[in-house]
Chains A and B, each alone.
Chain A
Amino acid sequence: MSNRYMLTLVGRDQPGIVARITAALYAAGANLGETSMIRLGSNFTVMMIVESETGDADLHTALQPVTESLQLVLHIDAIEAAFQQRPVPDACIVVYGADRAGIVAEVTGKAAAAGLNILDLESDIGGTEAEPLYILQIEGVASQGVDALEAALAPLRANGVRVDVRPIDTMIG
């Protein structure tokens, strides 16, 4: 009976991080499930679900040489072992505009009130230093429908923010 863990690793980005982490886990007999690995600013962030016959102390031991030499922060949580069917996103929101305090809270607050369960959110800042451009992309399940989401977010457009709400039509065949 194997156990499941959520591993979080964060540190300054440098070549070989992913290879060294995953090699150490493989050598320890752990299996990777869903993972998200992405560079944020100058940091590299890794979150992954790992299955292992061993305990979390063994995972710590297995990763220690890597976390020490690359100076990564490691966190391990035991998580529920039950297999769960993944929810399929049916709505996508793209927001962009001049960088502005509170925009993520505003968008996600209105979206939550209109029934959106967020599955994936990423935001980025582009443009120039003088005129930064804020870009936000969200995917989720619109439990009250895409039209309700659109109606809830429409008022944001009055403030010069571009908001695009659209269905994600998944073709199953």
Chain B
Amino acid sequence: MAVLEILVYPDERLRQDSLPVESFDAALQQRIENLEDTRLAGPGAVGIAAPQVGWFERVLIIDVSGRKKTTSHGRLVLVNPEITEWDGYAMGREGCLSVPDYTGNVVRAERIHLDAFDAGGKPLGFDMEGFEARAIQHELDHLDGLLFLDRLVSRRQDLFRRKVYKES
């Protein structure tokens, strides 16, 4: 087990583009294991992207299955992930292992379709929504050198965002 150091903004390395994984070899498996160990050691992170530990390849891990009332595909290791469809939008609160002690509102697509490969190179495809789709979009941003800070919207802006109750 290896818990790696998490890069913290303003570390400029978080700004770089990550490269596609070329070979699904034993070294990849080891690095994925270390990435997962690091995610689990962090404070309640549901996802982590490789560049957050200074590994600049297109790999991310998410697992939102521990959350109540959340649609989920369980723990996913995703290599060379790509969102191919976006639908709807929703405001939500995000924080980041690489930006400690700050949370903010971000607008993300409500539903996405994601194509990726698993750790062994097998193609995967998912329709995702809500919290899980948000986590994917946040992590994918890391692969493109973006942080949720780049997408902040005002905290004073989500009035009447969701259901209102009919008076009975």
Interface readout for B1-42 with A: 1 if CB under 8 Å, 0 if not?
A: 000000000000000000000000000000000000000001
Indicate whether A169 sits within 8 Å of B92 (C-beta atoms), given known contacts A86-B101, A164-B162.
Answer: yes
Say whether A7 faces chain B, with CB atoms less than 8 Å apart.
no
A26-72 interface with B by 8 A CB criterion = none
Instruction: Name the distance in Å between B57's Cβ and chain A's nearest Cβ.
Output: 17
Q: Are B96 and A169 in contact (CB under 8 A)?
A: no
Q: Are B94 and A173 in contact (CB under 8 A)?
A: yes
Say whether B122 faces chain A, with CB atoms less than 8 Å apart.
no
For the side of the interface on B, what is the size category?
Answer: 20 to 34
Chain A, Cβ-Cβ closest to B62: A173
Say whether A172 faces chain B, with CB atoms less than 8 Å apart.
yes
What total of chain A residues lie within 8 Å of the partner, measured CB to CB?
21
Indicate whether A160 sits within 8 Å of B167 (C-beta atoms), given known contacts A170-B95, A172-B45, A173-B62.
Answer: yes
What is B's interface to A at a CB cutoff of 8 Å?
42-49, 62, 67, 92-97, 101, 103, 131, 134-135, 138-139, 155-156, 158-160, 162-165, 167-168
What is A's interface to B at a CB cutoff of 8 Å?
85-86, 88, 92, 94, 120, 122, 135, 137, 157, 160, 162-164, 166, 168-173
